[in-house]
Amino acid sequence: MDQATDLGYLLHKHPDRVQRFEQSFGTAHVFYPDAGERRCTAALLLDVDPVKLVRTRGRGTPDFSLGQYVNDRPYAASSLLASAMANVFRTAMRGRCNLRPELAESAIPLEIVLPALPCRGGPGQAERFFAPLGWDVSAVPVPLDPEFAEWGDSRYVTLTLTGTLRLADALNQLYVLLPVLDDAKHYWLAPDEVDKLIRAGEGWLAAHPDRGAITRRYLANRRGLVRTALGRLADAEDAPEEELDPVQVEEEPAPSEDSEQAEKAVSLAEHRLQAVVHALRDENARRVIDLGCGSGKLLARLLKDDFFSEISGTDVSHRALSHAWRRLRWDDRPRRENDRVRDVFQGALTYADERFGGYEAAVLMEVIEHIDPPRLGAVERVVFGHAAPRVVIVTTPNAEHNVRYEGLAPGAMRHSDHRFEWTRAEFRAWADRVAAAHGYRVRHVPVGDDDPEVGAPTQMGVFTR
């Protein structure tokens, strides 16, 4: 493997050139101090222009220091470096590399050095935020003045991260955690800040043990925004691109300073699980298949409840299934005749499959909104026409409720993988048509806080025939 060209491909910056990128607050330079076959170093140098900074960001800011021509920003790795990174390495951060797609997907050996990182909470804080992501962390305090040891340390550390990760993940983690460690962000909170956090946090933030603290700091403690972000993180847990540890998902978040928000955040996912279990019991359906089971939260719940006698799950995503298998200890389960878990297998809902049949109920919990509209007809035929269990339960977001999520841009969806989100009327129209076409009746149940104006956050249809 040729390290130099590989890193060049991934960053979309040629190793032989020095390139500059104008920012509103200065100039970013990218160059390669070392581009060998065994090791390659790409440097991002941000030359902050204090005058430009005062003019673009300093005006009207509550942060006094930013309105001054002399501050630490030109020297410290702060949110300015993060935003320059997002600008200069935009494609790399999305994990795209058309010429070498397999390289963008691979974890590669990385070392990242930040000579002067403002670090509130001290070196231990950097360790707490980066170590759970798989980094070896060295955070060495920078002395105030090496000539005068008695002055002690500054609030800056030299941070070195070593690990084997996808470059895109590493860049996204830095993008979020640099301003979080600096924790001086109150002056540039844009309205789409929650979206940025969710996007950059994809695949690592939902499962981070400190996701509450990170989210709170990133959003400068704005309660409404923090609540929305934690809610969306909890919601996104099962999306196929999320990497998470099922053990952590099982646990309710530890009560902490953000317990109020965390409680809100878990409660919608929890409400949904309870609503589905309730409906299954109401319909006296003991043999259940979970279609699009994701990481297997519902399967685990059904397994805990003796009412359910036969439980299966399927998903198209191998990554999601590997979490489900681990959660259910599928691999080291002794296969017994009377095992209540019948099968957890990979399958696509767009193709008729014998294995979907033979159950009293099928559940599609937060699945249909992940299906491209032109393929939804196929899923309808497979589920209601072919498998055709006595009961089908479908849950999906209620788009009308989105206005209650502070920080969700108007018209935006709750998760980047959603292909659509329906209003209550749209869901009803779909459900009525599908029920009529396949000989089912359907009743509608709101799930979560039923807002008098915009309805509940989740809508559920219980189909019976």
Binding interface with ligand SAH (CB under 6 A):
238-240, 292-294, 297, 315-317, 320, 348-350, 365-367, 370-371
Query: Among residues 261 and 317, whose Cβ is nearest to ligand SAH?
Result: 317
Q: What is the DSSP string of 323-365?
A: HHHHHTT-TTS---TT-SEEEEEE--TTS--GGG-S-SEEEEE
Shortest spacing between CB 212 and ligand SAH, in angstroms: 20
| Distance from C-alpha of 26 to C-alpha of 48, rounded to nearest angstrom | 4
Shortest spacing between CB 239 and ligand SAH, in angstroms: 5
Q: Are 143 and 152 in contact (CB under 8 A)?
A: yes
Shortest spacing between CB 220 and ligand SAH, in angstroms: 30
| Distance from C-alpha of 2 to C-alpha of 36, rounded to nearest angstrom | 8
| Distance from C-alpha of 389 to C-alpha of 357, rounded to nearest angstrom | 7
Query: Among residues 348 and 413, whose Cβ is nearest to ligand SAH?
Result: 348
Query: Among residues 158 and 267, whose Cβ is nearest to ligand SAH?
Result: 267
Query: Among residues 300 and 431, whose Cβ is nearest to ligand SAH?
Result: 300
Query: Among residues 103 and 378, whose Cβ is nearest to ligand SAH?
Result: 378
Single-letter residue type at 376: L
Query: Among residues 178 and 206, whose Cβ is nearest to ligand SAH?
Result: 206
- Determine how β-strand 153-165 pairs with β-strand 136-143: antiparallel
Q: What is the DSSP string of 82-142?
A: HHHHHHHTHHHHTT--SS-HHHHHS-EEEEEEEEEEE-TT-HHHHHHHHGGGT-EEEEEEE
Shortest spacing between CB 231 and ligand SAH, in angstroms: 14
Shortest spacing between CB 201 and ligand SAH, in angstroms: 17
Q: What is the CB neighbour count within 10 angstroms for residue 195?
A: 17
Shortest spacing between CB 262 and ligand SAH, in angstroms: 18
| Cα dist from 36 to 12, 18, 103, whole Å | 17, 16, 18
